[in-house]
Copies of this chain bind each other. A is one copy, B any other.
């Protein structure tokens, strides 16, 4: 293979903070409920929708990919955040980028581990859903409402993303 342009790094809350939140049961629970049988990590996603939108839950089923992965497209949603919650313990790839003059710059790649969901901030550049194994099944909490909520940017030079 060619030399990779990006290396998928472990997904951590600190590293992902510029782009959104990692949704996981890490550290102490905020609350212990159900007679001690359940921990609650409370309200961990910064849901952010425009006034004409509301939260909804959809199910996505995506074709599994493998590494190295060719990243050719970034997209972003100007009207709302978008959370991805894996419904199986399979890894997935998360590609994000910063913005400069309405273009994605400084791309980064993260590898989510079993038990990790993400919430991508409103208007943050990201790649499409990229499961790295079956079944590619995710619950998505994003903005439901009128208006055009998708901006795409195709890369003139696609990026090759490899594992660590």
A135 contacts partner chain B, Cβ-Cβ < 8 Å: yes
- Whether, in the assembled complex, A160 has its beta carbon less than 8 Å from a beta carbon of chain B, the answer is no
**A148 interface contact, C-beta 8 A:** no
Instruction: With both chains docked as a complex, state the minimum distance between the C-beta of A162 and any C-beta of chain B, in angstroms.
Output: 20
Q: How many copies does the complex hold?
A: 2
Which of A4-12, A93-101, A103-111, A114-122 forms part of the interface with chain B? A114-122
Residue of B nearest to A45 (CB): B57
Q: Is the CB of B45 within 8 A of A62?
A: no
**Interface residues of A, Cβ cutoff 8 Å to B:** 23-25, 29, 33-35, 37-45, 47, 54-63, 83, 85-89, 114-115, 117, 119, 128-129, 135-137, 139-141, 144
